[in-house]
Amino acid sequence: MKVLFVSPEISPFARTGGLGEVVGSLPLALKKAGVDVRVLCPLHRCCKDLPVRILESEIAFRKESKLKCSKIGVLEDHKFPVPVYFLVNDHFFDREGIYADENGNYSDNSLRAFVLSQAAIELEKVAEWIPDIFHAHDWMAAPTCAYLNAKQGEVTKLKAQGSLLTIHNLEHQGIFTHKDFLASGLPHTYWSMDGFEHHGNLNLLKGGIQHADKISTVSPTYAKEIRTVEHGHKLEECLRFRGADLVGILNGIDADAWNPTTDTSIPHPIELSAPSQGKKKCKQSLVKEFDLPFSNAPLFGVVSRLHHQKGLDVLLLALPKILKEANATFVILGSGADDQEKGYLELAKAFPRNVGVRIGFDDALARRIFASSDFFLMPSRFEPCGLAQQYAMRYGSVPIATKTGGLTDTIRPRTDRSKKHTGYLFDQADGLLLISAIKQACKDWQDKKFYAAMQSRTMQISCSWELAAQKYIQLYGWIFPKS
Ligand code: GLC
């Protein structure tokens, strides 16, 4: 079976978040399971120093402009075990950011999405490799599914190639205008309610949803939630319409890259047989780094983007109250909304003995926080899958999270009777509920035996990509029985 991933991001070369991480690790598991999987991603400025061999032939986008001609570069880095094709077009992709710069989103983002998606369909002419399935990720690659239908003609029953669209976050849909659609070169009939048109706008994700053979999202609970008004981001009707073809497959994590016994970014390894030893040493060093005292109080960690989705505005408001009522330390690493960044920095000043804050994105520090903390906070308003809670769990940090999306699917909640719980879930991103979960956690932490048993279960959750890879292979088979 031959599968081409089409994605605007791929870790470790170009990533802004979870999408890049998934595209950088799921293909490895698929390859191990026997799939001939390859990835197509734009050659962004951050990829410019990679060893890339440029193939000779060009891919033209609607032929009328030289600017719209792209080349294909093949990654020649043997450490990365899956073939990666880069779409080389400096006019569209040699930019400071992947989607935006300091002035905001690029105004030609729809055209950039069309250029990438159309190139995916044309790649076979240049690369001498013909995919059976195009696996598009998120709005920027979503039009791939439509270009494929346009190429094959919808009347043919015997399709030679099929498509899968994976939605990593329904909030980001790629919304533009009708004029932008006209630049796509797609058939005019694709501008309709059952195509790319959505309330008078061009909606790239919707077009992908309508055109894909199958649709997946990154957890089973999120696959159900997005059919509702509450979580559907106005696409719930369209997702219900495609409901029979929509499945949820839980993301895994790369168990080698996130291994607390071998991770060189953390000051001391954490062994499953005696996690508290390693974690204590990591904690001693982290509190020093944040200029906090080493105290006999549980340490709560946060590693997150500070966006509305993540609900950390709720924690920010609740923290002064929590700190009055509970003896606890908080370490927060994140960046995003200005008001939250400011608010957290002020809080750290107001509570210098209990709150440490770093604004930014720092992979090694994130790992040290996972390794040092006793609990990990994720009060998300919605969460398609969530990777951070899985990393935290591997490193022995017990998650406290909202009961939503992938958090529901990865955390077995503490209830009065449960003996198998691996964390705490509360109903929604609400200050009082969060406070009460944190207080319960502080109480449980005092009971060393209880906490140790919970921590040990948490560290043993199964989170490898193998199971997910098998599910994707089954899904590919439903799309395209021939393979
Ligand atoms: C997005 C989602 C996150 C998910 C990730 C990878 O970033 O917000 O929940 O884990 O994609 O699929």
Per-residue pLDDT tens, the chain, 483 aa: give them: 999 999 999 999 999 989 999 999 999 999 999 999 999 999 999 999 999 999 999 999 986 677 789 999 999 998 999 999 999 999 999 999 999 999 999 999 999 999 999 999 999 999 999 999 999 999 999 999 999 999 988 555 557 899 999 999 999 999 999 999 999 999 999 999 999 999 999 999 999 999 999 999 999 999 999 999 999 999 999 999 999 999 999 999 988 899 999 999 999 999 999 999 999 999 999 999 999 999 899 999 999 999 999 999 999 999 999 999 889 999 999 999 999 999 999 999 999 999 999 999 999 999 999 999 999 999 999 999 999 999 999 999 999 999 999 999 999 999 877 789 999 999 999 999 999 999 999 999 999 999 999 999 999 998 889 999 999 999 999 998 654
Residues in contact with ligand 1 (CB, 6 Å cut-off): 17-19, 22, 168-169, 218, 251, 383-387, 406
Q: What H or E segment, with its residue span, contains residue 162?
A: strand 162-167
Note the pLDDT of residue 483.
45
Regarding whether 281 and 175 lie in a shared domain, the answer is no
DSSP assignments along 84-122, one per residue: EEEEE-HHHH-SSSSSEETTEE-TTHHHHHHHHHHHHHH
C-alpha 167 – ligand 1 centre gap (Å): 9
Regarding whether 227 and 79 lie in a shared domain, the answer is yes
Regarding whether 76 and 92 lie in a shared domain, the answer is yes
C-alpha 387 – ligand 1 centre gap (Å): 7
C-alpha 325 – ligand 1 centre gap (Å): 33
The verdict on residue 261 lying in a domain is no
Cross-strand partners of 302 = 332
The verdict on residue 264 lying in a domain is no
Ligand 1 atom with minimal separation from the 166 CA: 12
C-alpha 219 – ligand 1 centre gap (Å): 10
Q: How many helices (H) and strands (E) does the chain have?
A: 18, 20
Regarding whether 309 and 218 lie in a shared domain, the answer is no
The verdict on residue 142 lying in a domain is yes
Q: Which of 16, 19, 221 to mutate to test the pocket of ligand 1 (most atoms within 8 A of CB)?
A: 19
Note the pLDDT of residue 480.
82
Regarding whether 338 and 210 lie in a shared domain, the answer is no
The verdict on residue 257 lying in a domain is no
Ligand 1 atom with minimal separation from the 406 CA: 9
In whole angstroms, how far apart are CA 250 and each of 241, 404, 455? 22, 13, 22
Note the pLDDT of residue 183.
95
Q: Which of 135, 140, 168, 381 to mutate to test the pocket of ligand 1 (most atoms within 8 A of CB)?
A: 168
Q: Which two tokens stand for residue 231?
A: 């979580």
Could you tell me which residues come within 8 angstroms of residue 317 by beta carbon, excluding any fewer than 6 positions away? 431
Residues 373, 397: contact at Cβ < 8 Å? yes
CA-nearest residue for atom 6, ligand 1, is 18
Q: Which of 221, 251, 306, 385 to mutate to test the pocket of ligand 1 (most atoms within 8 A of CB)?
A: 385
C-alpha 34 – ligand 1 centre gap (Å): 26
Q: What H or E segment, with its residue span, contains residue 425?
A: strand 424-426
- Give the distance from CA 264 to its chain's centroid: 24
The verdict on residue 40 lying in a domain is yes
The verdict on residue 267 lying in a domain is no
Ligand 1 atom with minimal separation from the 222 CA: 9
Could you tell me which residues come within 8 angstroms of residue 144 by beta carbon, excluding any fewer than 6 positions away? 6, 116, 117, 120, 121, 134, 136, 163, 208
Note the pLDDT of residue 419.
84
Regarding whether 341 and 281 lie in a shared domain, the answer is yes
Regarding whether 165 and 49 lie in a shared domain, the answer is yes
Give the length of the chain.
Answer: 483
Regarding whether 185 and 48 lie in a shared domain, the answer is yes
Note the pLDDT of residue 463.
85
The sign of the dihedral angle between the CA atoms of 151, 154, 158, 163 is: positive
CA-nearest residue for atom 12, ligand 1, is 168
Regarding whether 445 and 300 lie in a shared domain, the answer is yes
Give pTM, 2 decimals. Answer: 0.95
Query: Cα–Cα distance between 113 and 72 in angstroms, integer?
Result: 16
CATH number at residue 421: 3.40.50.2000
C-alpha 309 – ligand 1 centre gap (Å): 11
CA-nearest residue for atom 7, ligand 1, is 18
C-alpha 384 – ligand 1 centre gap (Å): 6
Number of domains in the chain: 2
Range of the domain at 360: 275-459
C-alpha 21 – ligand 1 centre gap (Å): 9
Could you tell me which residues come within 8 angstroms of residue 344 by beta carbon, excluding any fewer than 6 positions away? 306, 316, 332, 334, 355, 357, 359
The verdict on residue 413 lying in a domain is yes
DSSP assignments along 439-477, one per residue: HHHHHHHHSHHHHHHHHHHHHT----HHHHHHHHHHHHH
The sign of the dihedral angle between the CA atoms of 468, 474, 476, 482 is: positive
End-to-end alpha-carbon separation of the chain, Å? 5
Regarding whether 292 and 236 lie in a shared domain, the answer is no
The verdict on residue 140 lying in a domain is yes
Regarding whether 434 and 286 lie in a shared domain, the answer is yes
Regarding whether 237 and 131 lie in a shared domain, the answer is yes
